[in-house]
Chain A
Amino acid sequence: MNPSTAELLQRIRGLADAIGRPIRLMEVCGTHTMAISRSGLRALLPPNLRLLSGPGCPVCVTPVDYVDKAIALARRPDVVVMTFGDMLRVPGSESSLEQARAEGARVRVVYSPLDAFRAARSGSDQVVFLGVGFETTAPTVAWTVREARRLGVSNYSVLCAHKLIPPAMRALLDSGECRLDGFLCPGHVSVMIGTKAYEPIAHDYRLPCVVAGFEVLDILRGVARLLEMRCAGLAAAENAYERGATSEGNPAGLALLDEVFTAETTVWRGLGALLASGLALRPAFDAHDAEKRFAPLNVPPPREPKGCRCGDVLRGACLPDECPLFGRTCAPENPVGACMVSSEGSCAAHFRYEWVPRETTA
Chain B
Amino acid sequence: MKDDRILLAHGGGGRKTQSLIQEVMLRHFRDPVLARLDDAARLEMESRALAFTTDSYVVDPPFFPGGDIGKLAACGTINDLAMQAATPKFMSVGLILEEGFLVSDLNRALGSLAAVTRALGVVVATGDTKVVERGRGGGIFVNTSGIGIRPEGLDIGASRARPGDAVLVSGTIGDHGIAVMSVREGLAFETPLQSDVAPLWPLVAQLLEHRIAIHCLRDPTRGGLAAALCDVAAASDVGVRIREADLPVRREVRAACGLLGLDPLHVANEGKLVLICAAPDAPRALAVLREHSLGRDAAIMGQVEKGPKGVVRMETVAGGERVVEMPLGDELPRIC
Q: How far is the CB of A162 from chain B (nearest CB, A)?
A: 19
A356 touches B331 (CB 8 A): no
B320 touches A360 (CB 8 A): no
User: Among A9, A38, A109, A110, which residue has its beta carbon within 8 angstroms of that of B322?
Assistant: A38
Contact with B along A250-263 (1 / 0, CB 8 A): 00000000000000
Nearest chain-B residue to A220 (Cβ)?
Answer: B318
Docked pose: A354 CA to B320 CA in angstroms: 10
Binds A, one of B45-53, B62-70, B131-139, B304-312: B304-312
Query: How many A residues are at the interface, by size bracket?
Result: 20 to 34
* B317 interface residue (CB < 8 Å to A): yes
Residues from chain B with Cβ under 8 Å of A111 in the complex? 186-187, 260
B311 touches A360 (CB 8 A): yes
Nearest chain-B residue to A5 (Cβ)?
Answer: B318
Q: How far is the CB of A107 from chain B (nearest CB, A)?
A: 10
Residues from chain A with Cβ under 8 Å of B321 in the complex? 40, 43
Residues from chain B with Cβ under 8 Å of A353 in the complex? 322-323, 325
A39 touches B322 (CB 8 A): yes
B307 touches A360 (CB 8 A): yes
User: Among A6, A38, A115, A356, which residue has its beta carbon within 8 angstroms of that of B319?
Assistant: A6
Q: How far is the CB of B163 from chain A (nearest CB, A)?
A: 10
Q: Which of B183-234 contact A (CB under 8 A)?
A: 186-187
Number of interface residues, chain B, beta carbon within 8 A: 25
A40 touches B322 (CB 8 A): yes
Docked pose: A44 CA to B316 CA in angstroms: 11
Docked pose: A111 CA to B309 CA in angstroms: 37
B307 touches A361 (CB 8 A): yes
Contact with A along B310-336 (1 / 0, CB 8 A): 110001111111110100101100000
Docked pose: A5 CA to B325 CA in angstroms: 25
* A277 interface residue (CB < 8 Å to B): no
* B261 interface residue (CB < 8 Å to A): yes
Q: Which of A334-362 contact B (CB under 8 A)?
A: 343, 351-356, 360-362
Q: How far is the CB of B206 from chain A (nearest CB, A)?
A: 35
Nearest chain-A residue to B262 (Cβ)?
Answer: A343
Residues from chain A with Cβ under 8 Å of B311 in the complex? 356, 360
Given contacts A41-B318, A110-B186, A343-B261, contact A352 B309 (CB under 8 A): no
User: Among A115, A351, A352, A362, which residue has its beta carbon within 8 angstroms of that of B307?
Assistant: A362
* A333 interface residue (CB < 8 Å to B): yes
User: Among B263, B309, B320, which residue has its beta carbon within 8 angstroms of that of A44?
Assistant: B320
* B171 interface residue (CB < 8 Å to A): no
* A42 interface residue (CB < 8 Å to B): yes
Docked pose: A332 CA to B323 CA in angstroms: 14
* B239 interface residue (CB < 8 Å to A): yes
A43 touches B320 (CB 8 A): yes
Docked pose: A5 CA to B319 CA in angstroms: 9
Nearest chain-A residue to B328 (Cβ)?
Answer: A332
Contact with A along B8-39 (1 / 0, CB 8 A): 00000000000000000000000000000000
Docked pose: A5 CA to B317 CA in angstroms: 9
B307 touches A333 (CB 8 A): no
A333 touches B318 (CB 8 A): no
Residues from chain B with Cβ under 8 Å of A343 in the complex? 261, 330
A354 touches B318 (CB 8 A): no
Docked pose: A111 CA to B310 CA in angstroms: 34
Residues from chain B with Cβ under 8 Å of A42 in the complex? 320
Docked pose: A9 CA to B187 CA in angstroms: 39
Docked pose: A356 CA to B187 CA in angstroms: 35
Q: How far is the CB of A114 from chain B (nearest CB, A)?
A: 10
Q: How far is the CB of B21 from chain A (nearest CB, A)?
A: 38
B323 touches A352 (CB 8 A): yes
Docked pose: A43 CA to B186 CA in angstroms: 40
Given contacts A333-B328, A343-B261, contact A362 B306 (CB under 8 A): yes
B186 touches A356 (CB 8 A): no
Q: How far is the CB of A181 from chain B (nearest CB, A)?
A: 22
Q: Which of B230-271 contact A (CB under 8 A)?
A: 239, 260-261, 263
Docked pose: A125 CA to B148 CA in angstroms: 51
A39 touches B330 (CB 8 A): no
Given contacts A88-B331, A115-B186, contact A39 B308 (CB under 8 A): no
- A selection of 6 A-B contacts at a CB cut-off of 8 Å is A38-B322, A40-B318, A111-B260, A353-B322, A356-B308, A361-B307
Binding site for A on B (CB under 8 A): 186-187, 239, 260-261, 263, 306-311, 315-323, 325, 328, 330-331
Binding site for B on A (CB under 8 A): 5-6, 9, 37-44, 85, 88, 109-111, 115, 216, 332-333, 343, 351-356, 360-362
A115-B186, A343-B261 are known; give 13 further A-B pairs, CB within 8 A: A5-B318, A6-B319, A39-B317, A39-B322, A40-B316, A44-B318, A109-B331, A111-B260, A352-B325, A353-B322, A353-B323, A362-B239, A362-B309
**What 8 A-B pairs are tightest by C-beta distance, nearest first?**
A362-B307, A40-B320, A353-B322, A216-B318, A40-B322, A39-B318, A85-B331, A40-B321
